[in-house]
Structure 1
């Protein structure tokens, strides 16, 4: 699991979060307790219904399973582990198989990228920001029974190592003794089925857990403990031209130190060291949910939006909002819209100095670039005017991600597509057709039917040559290969999985902002007017923004002064004296 510019952006957080949101984040990090009889603590705000399953969506619990897990031994071993073993009559290809490399994008250089003519790069970034709030699959510890296992160098299956094998005809890696390191996701106890289930280390809800934390110790560690105001802790060494930055993590071996040893700047402390926007979070926990459902998802799901996420009818206590295991792979569709370069622009939206364009692989774990190369605003300007990459069937991810991922901190440059495929097998996810059936879609059985689904006979033939049957196609690559739904940026299968997850997240959240009793009608009306452009204006020094930031915009004709962007009306929260 990775992001576009890991560690390049930071968070500038200056205001306290809503106390109800903090309480919720703390609440869901606790172990479930059986409810014996109603007490005042068992009820949500203003008489919400009884919490029958308070652990649903909690951090450090297993992912939800929408289909039974499929493991090589039926319990825990990943499919494809045993060489030559047949599935539906055919062996599974190596995830770094040369044909897969070519399908994903090998041979299409960083300069040969198709631009999305309708979606901006911040559209891609928003999806990654949302993903970091929903799921985090931690690695299994590499120290078992006091024995240290070195997964970074091991090329044999020795739990928790599940190394990615390199074929002899690999176009880049020629050493036959080399493999790509891979550590299996940490499991959670599953006493019901005894099959391996992966743990989600953060809360499933859209609750800004990547900012505030999903456990009490982390939540406390990122707050200013010198007073009782509940403010976020700020970096004591650096600011972003006067605006606050996150504190650094307290690790002597912080990965970010290795990307520029002379700077000696560690990673920022915040859940994941992810590419995120500098934001003030007072009331924004609800405002950004509005942005996600009103602005982002319709551009992603296109004409399938209303089908997959129908109008809100209220909290449903029977709905399980837990993030599904398959969603943790499906939402990695965003890797297909990442550009190979990170652009930084000045206040006139012109290149910022001679190093304004940085190759993506040089930005991973590079927190020093935020501190020493202009801060967050230039990066945000680049996101506002740059196009997202358009996902193409012959270039799913760029070379920077396929060949140079974490090159500065790993023994070998990693392959993000191979990691995604290996992670799907690690998690025991069923194949392509099983998920097509789950979503009520046709299940292609032969070359002709797969050609029709993909609308690409050549690609269909490559898949059939690789997998033997559509049943065996790994979910990530199969779903990614589908043509977009009308006016969307994912195919039918991804639209179903992603849409289903966001509907469950909404309907199973008793604190959902539209749920009667959470906010007053006047407060809901005020929140519905929130916008990402306004947040950017309020929390950066950027003074000109597009009205619709997720669509492609040109400067200056598509930009307006921040004075033209409406602010949230806070008067509905005013406490009136008698």
Structure 2
């Protein structure tokens, strides 16, 4: 490890301060410029920004403070790299890992939280102090971890280039139109609950935010008409726009040559040292249902009713829906009679099926609080809220490890990575304080985006007798007003638990590659292209590096994909070692018993091993580990949890009275028959073990 002397540190601090001052001055100039440097509401690309932004200005202030600190360290790293003649490989391997907290650069380090000597019984809303030795692990506004070191062209932040000639990698849009197809390949073994619950789950532990101006305005990287990129003098440093080829088979009709793309907000490393940049996760990294409760005490306070332990609701003629959003830009329209909702996550309204998930889990919290209040009338609001939250988190963890993960990665990976829950009268002692639970960049920016390939471009709504309506997915993005229709919730829940997914392969529906976030526009943005560009923004290494890590041989020639697909790949990539992780992962043949190929399977398994073994408050941990442990009787009950039971207990019960036992698997077949929701064949939690 290289030691930094005081003189060097002072020089680096001056360099980073001067450069930051120039960047902020330039940003002020862009904000006051008559040029279209601000992206205003209207175009589809604003929908992409709406999906990542924070609507709370106080929250934004904290985010910006952390992001600016990380940028200062990145500038200092570049200066030190040039000064010392370091190689990219030396930065990748952590050659400069000195803690800067007590140096002239220490002002860029984030202060750790104060943790009490006696740990709290309930996990903190902000996830901090879970690990006594590393109190910031898993907390919001902290960096993603990595499976492999980042790959940047300059070793710090500039996107990687081709290994052949160091020229820029091909346009993600060109890769999307050449390699990614729209082929109908339904997989009737699994239901649409898989991708929808997967999205809901991902919003529990990963939220990357696009950089913005300090006042929260969105950054424009393209001319307002989309015909070209902005000139260099009008371009923000966070811009990384996606070029659209002149002969694009779809966007050329609208004379589009530029798709807006802004880089992810950064965060200093936990160690606060020089090195390549790290991207910020805005929310807690744990499975703690933060998408319902929020990731800061302020968010949670806004969502609580402070009555009988319950969360706020919008009572819609006797139906409890999530509370109405206060921000006028949260949805496409807030006209009278329309509805736009609020939860612990700012992406709630992105998809109406996501709102449905938020609704049933919100109702489940309030249902639990109601039963607990009946059993313990002497409990106050705080105790009812915290106990109901603790139970709901446990239910979520049970559903993930008992139902969702075996469906996605298969039993072999569950065995190999030790992901099975305990049975009988047994607590878990798997907790390891050396395991960092933080979400990996590879999972957030690539592997967990496998679900985009499973999405059907249309929602088929079934009424009491027959199919009534088919809705294109873009028509209900940021427009969840249909939630107010009396039968809609049950219709969607029936659709999610009966309709098949699409296979995980090199196919993504046109609704996501042409019309994503389109609103009232004739075209949208390309989600596949955004996924590819996001991987490059986050410094993900080429697919081959991860393939080799998984134990598979490197792809040496595109002919290994066969003549047709191999030729398509050869048209866009100069070498197999240029291939993006998200593309390569989708193109793998499925691993036995898994929905995904071996590389994505192992990345997902690795992540959920971290989230289980690195979480002291994981629901089944032994009393010697978990300060808020359940009694053995309580543990028996929470292990009964299932998504089907959550649906049965919290639907509107207008059209939905039956469910298959496993909501993720094909229903109505031997072993997964439809049963009445009142049946004990879908076990219910008995809360009497919580009675005092």
TM-score normalised to structure 1 length: 0.82
Do the aligned residues in 2 keep the contact of 1:42 with 1:51 (CA within 8 Å)?
no
Counterpart of 1:419 in 2: which secondary structure?
helix
The reply on whether 1:127 has 2:198 as its aligned counterpart is yes
Provide the aligned C-alpha RMSD in A. Answer: 3.1
The reply on whether 1:113 has 2:184 as its aligned counterpart is yes
Equivalent pairs counted in the alignment come to 518
Aligned residue in 2 for 1:300: 408
Larger CA deviation: 467-476 vs 546-555: 546-555
TM-superposed deviation, 1:168: 1.3
The reply on whether 1:242 has 2:353 as its aligned counterpart is no
Spell out the pairing of 1:279-358 with structure 2 (5 A cutoff): 279=361, 280-281=364-365, 282=368, 283-302=391-410, 303-311=412-420, 313-329=429-445, 330-346=447-463, 348=464, 350-352=466-468, 356-358=469-471
TM-superposed deviation, 1:233: 1.0
The one of 158, 161, 164 equivalent to 2:239 is 161
Spell out the pairing of 1:179-190 with structure 2 (5 A cutoff): 179-190=258-269
Aligned residue in 1 for 2:648: 537
Structure 2 CA distance for aligned equivalents of residues 545 and 43 of structure 1: 35
The superposition leaves residues 511-553 of structure 1 with CA deviations (integer Å, 9 ceiling, x where unpaired) of 1111111122222222222222111111111311111211122
The one of 103, 112, 136 equivalent to 1:55 is 136
Closer, same or farther: CA 196–176 of 1 in aligned 2, 3 Å: farther
Spell out the pairing of 1:56-71 with structure 2 (5 A cutoff): 56-71=137-152
TM-superposed deviation, 1:446: 2.5
TM-superposed deviation, 1:293: 0.6
The superposition leaves residues 445-486 of structure 1 with CA deviations (integer Å, 9 ceiling, x where unpaired) of 2235xx1xx5x4432343244222222111111111101011
Counterpart of 2:280 in 1: which secondary structure?
strand
Aligned residue in 1 for 2:509: 398
Counterpart of 2:292 in 1: which secondary structure?
helix
Counterpart of 1:119 in 2: which secondary structure?
strand
The one of 377, 395, 414 equivalent to 2:490 is 377
Structure 2 CA distance for aligned equivalents of residues 514 and 287 of structure 1: 11
Spell out the pairing of 1:75-474 with structure 2 (5 A cutoff): 75-79=156-160, 86-89=162-165, 91=167, 92-97=169-174, 99-105=175-181, 108=182, 113-143=184-214, 149-151=219-221, 153=223, 155-156=229-230, 158-174=236-252, 178-190=257-269, 191-225=272-306, 227=307, 229-235=308-314, 238-239=315-316, 242-257=318-333, 263-271=337-345, 272-273=347-348, 274=350, 275=354, 276-277=356-357, 278-279=360-361, 280-281=364-365, 282=368, 283-302=391-410, 303-311=412-420, 313-329=429-445, 330-346=447-463, 348=464, 350-352=466-468, 356-372=469-485, 374-393=487-506, 396-408=507-519, 412-447=523-558, 451=560, 456-474=562-580
Structure 2 CA distance for aligned equivalents of residues 315 and 138 of structure 1: 30
Structure 1 regions of 5+ residues with no counterpart?
8-29, 81-85
Structure 1 CA distance for aligned equivalents of residues 130 and 173 of structure 2: 50
Structure 2 regions of 5+ residues with no counterpart?
1-44, 52-109, 124-128, 369-390, 421-427, 624-628
Counterpart of 1:291 in 2: which secondary structure?
helix
Structure 1 CA distance for aligned equivalents of residues 199 and 330 of structure 2: 22
Closer, same or farther: CA 447–429 of 1 in aligned 2, 3 Å: same
Do the aligned residues in 2 keep the contact of 1:522 with 1:572 (CA within 8 Å)?
yes
TM-superposed deviation, 1:42: 7.8
Counterpart of 2:188 in 1: which secondary structure?
strand
The superposition leaves residues 273-307 of structure 1 with CA deviations (integer Å, 9 ceiling, x where unpaired) of 15142231232221121111111111111233311
Counterpart of 1:318 in 2: which secondary structure?
coil
Structure 2 CA distance for aligned equivalents of residues 152 and 539 of structure 1: 45
Structure 2 CA distance for aligned equivalents of residues 438 and 34 of structure 1: 38
The reply on whether 1:504 has 2:585 as its aligned counterpart is no
Structure 2 CA distance for aligned equivalents of residues 50 and 323 of structure 1: 15
Counterpart of 2:501 in 1: which secondary structure?
strand
The reply on whether 1:546 has 2:627 as its aligned counterpart is no
The reply on whether 1:526 has 2:637 as its aligned counterpart is yes
Counterpart of 2:675 in 1: which secondary structure?
strand
Larger CA deviation: 517-526 vs 133-142: 517-526
Do the aligned residues in 1 keep the contact of 2:289 with 2:396 (CA within 8 Å)?
no
